[in-house]
Structure 1
Amino acid sequence: MTGPIAVAGDVHLGAENADAEAFNGFLDSLLSEHEAVTELVLLGDVWDMIRRDPFGVAWESADTIDRLQTIAESIPVRLLLGNHDTYLGGLDDSRYDVAFLDDYVLEQAETTIRFVHGNAFDRLQFDALSERLSGPGDRGDIDPTSGRKDPLVATLREAVKRGHRGLRALPLVGTFAGVDAGRYSRRQRRAHAFLDSIAEHKLVYGHTHSPYVHHDNVAANPGSWKSTAPVHNTYLLVEDGVLELYRYRDSGADERLG
């Protein structure tokens, strides 16, 4: 039987509001308890290479890379590509002892789980734009809006949600249509509907920075490590096919959220 698996994503190393110190502490806890966790899955956007020199980002996060390399000596580390680290997909695999994945499927306790980044469920995100803004080359600061970008995007999303509120009452197609209506955001509902199109029993995805576990434990998002998210520094543990959400604490036991 496979032991517990840790899942994290959306660290955005290189961004000013990324809590790199907390993420490194989380990795240190995995190193000290490596016999308990048997695998680490990172759901993409571990680095933030939008408008940044990717080599500069790597230099700044060298201590995190060292930790990941050390962990990889003991347990498998699966690295998925996100829309903010698209540049990594173009690296020559023969020069690096790492494989970047678009998705990953694992079986645990007769339960199959698919892991994806999750940007496909976000209609406000465009791959072509991410590829254009990602390295190589120095294209300025990670956030030219000086911290105003995230609140502005959140405000725009809320306005869009208000505009579509009336549409939420309309019937949806799929197994989760009835139970999801009014309970989950549109991006979460798209992720749940995606389960109808795949063979796996469960889905774990990132990108939205909103941590949660579906009430039927069939989908989950580990959240992010950006301090601008209302709830951050969160991760998932997957054991016996069950998805559990935790918040990392730099002292004491981590907090169970769901």
Structure 2
Amino acid sequence: MSSKILVAGDVHLGAENANAEAFGGFLDSVSQNCTGIEQFVLLGDVWDLVRRDPFGCAWETSETVTRLKRLAEEIPVSFVYGNHDTYLRNLDDALYGVEFRDQHALESGGQRVQFRHGQSFDRLQSDVVSTYLSGAGDRGDIDPTNGRKDPIVASGRRLVQRSKRGLKLAASSLLGADAGFDGTPTYPRRERRAHSHVEEIAADKLVYGHTHVPYVHPDNTVANPGSWKSTAPVHNTFLVVEDGDIELYQYDDADAAESPEGDSTGSLDALGTPISGVSF
């Protein structure tokens, strides 16, 4: 049986519309069906720490911490820091059995795959701003913002993103197509920066998060597992890397509920269904 690498990220626990229940069920399914899984990689932003009390957020989502620790006893779990993870850098990974990293690389089917969060491809992203916004809230309470982002920052990002979408629609209308001459989709700039990054690193493939857009590039060299926020058009998604091939899956908690508990068959059917991702 060939080994598999599971990849998920951008759950944003503690934020509005984060599907904590589905992600918890997914972790349970991985624990119950971990045969043949070489490693589980989390691409950061599992918790949403913008203007939140980090202790309060961890307290509210303690079941997820317990699940991750239990899973780490079964298979290696690596956590790649995201832009929301400023305070996680102070944790002792030995206490959780999870390895915290800035980036990660693994071999699969003779291919070297690099894993990173992907905020470096986002020019609207600033580590200085993230550090300022992450962590304790205005009043020092447990979650004084009730999971909401800083309103000024959130409004500014929405305005910029809305403007970019408008420009893209206008350009598509003028050009009369949403795809390149070879029929492949025309990707936004963050994705294009990620694609070109493969040429700069000692790896054959790149798996990154941050943008919440689940897809696998047509040439199978770059992929994004998407997010677990119900605000995303396609969510509750993850990637499977097997023999160097990357495939996108969507978790279905209804199917998982029908799977016999403790059935460690290693079957991906118990974890999700292959999907094609989203259109750009």
- TM-score, with structure 2 as normaliser: 0.80
Structure 2 counterpart of 1:238, which letter?
A: V
The equivalent position to 1:143 in structure 2, one of 143, 148, 153, is: 148
Match of 1:257 in 2: 275
How far does residue 159 in structure 1 lie from its aligned partner after superposition? 1.3
Are positions 1:213 and 2:216 aligned together?
yes
* Matched AA of 2:26: F
> What is the rounded CA distance, in whole Å, between the counterparts of 2:106 and 2:181 in structure 1?
28
Aligned residues of 1:195 and 1:201 also touching (Cα < 8 A): yes
1:2 is displaced (CA, Å) by: 5.7
Other-structure match for 2:203: 200
Q: 1:93 to 1:225 in 2, by over 3 A?
A: closer
TM-score (norm 1): 0.87
Partner of 2:57: 57
Q: How far apart in 2 are the matches of 1:181 and 1:50?
A: 36
Runs of 5+ in structure 2 lacking a partner? 172-179, 256-268
Aligned partner (choices 219, 230, 240) of residue 237 of structure 1: 240
Report the alpha carbon displacement of residue 71 of structure 1 after superposing the two structures with TM: 0.7
| Structure 2 CA distance for partners of 1:37 and 1:211, relative to 1, 3 Å | same
Confirm or deny that 1:157 pairs with 2:161. Answer: yes
Kindly provide the CA deviation profile for residues 183-210 of structure 1, in whole angstroms up to 9, marking residues without a partner as x: 2111110000111111100000000000
In 2, Cα distance between equivalents of 1:83 and 1:208:
11
Q: State the alpha-carbon separation in 2 of the partners of residues 180 and 216 from structure 1.
A: 13
Per-residue CA shift, 1:119-164, capped at 9, x if unaligned? 0011111110110111246373131579xx58x8456314124447
Distance 1:207 1:179, change over 3 A: farther
Cα separation, 1, equivalents of 2:206 and 2:149: 34
| Structure 2 CA distance for partners of 1:84 and 1:214, relative to 1, 3 Å | same
Q: After the TM superposition, which of the residue ranges 226-235 and 127-136 deviates more from structure 2? A: 127-136
Distance 1:83 1:145, change over 3 A: closer
**Does the 8 A contact of 1:50 with 1:85 survive in 2?**
no
Q: Which residue does the alignment assign to 2:264?
A: none
What is the RMSD of the two structures over their aligned residues, measured on CA atoms?
2.8
Deviations 1:73-94 (A, max 9, x none): 0100000111112111133557
Q: Is the 1:2–1:38 contact (alpha carbons within 8 Å) kept by the matching residues of 2?
A: no
2:99 aligned residue: 99
Residues 29-72 of structure 1: CA deviation (Å, up to 9, x unaligned): 10110113221000000011111111111111111111111110
Distance 1:35 1:94, change over 3 A: closer
- Equivalent-residue separation in structure 2 for 1:179 and 1:46 (angstroms): 36
Confirm or deny that 1:73 pairs with 2:73.
Answer: yes
Deviates more, 1:192-201 or 1:153-162: 153-162
Aligned residues: 248
SS at match of 1:38: strand
Distance change (3 Å), C-alpha of 1:58 and 1:145: closer
211 and 96 in structure 1: CA distance in 2 versus 1, 3 angstrom threshold = closer
Aligned CA distance change for structure 1 residues 181 and 213 (closer, same or farther; 3 Å): closer
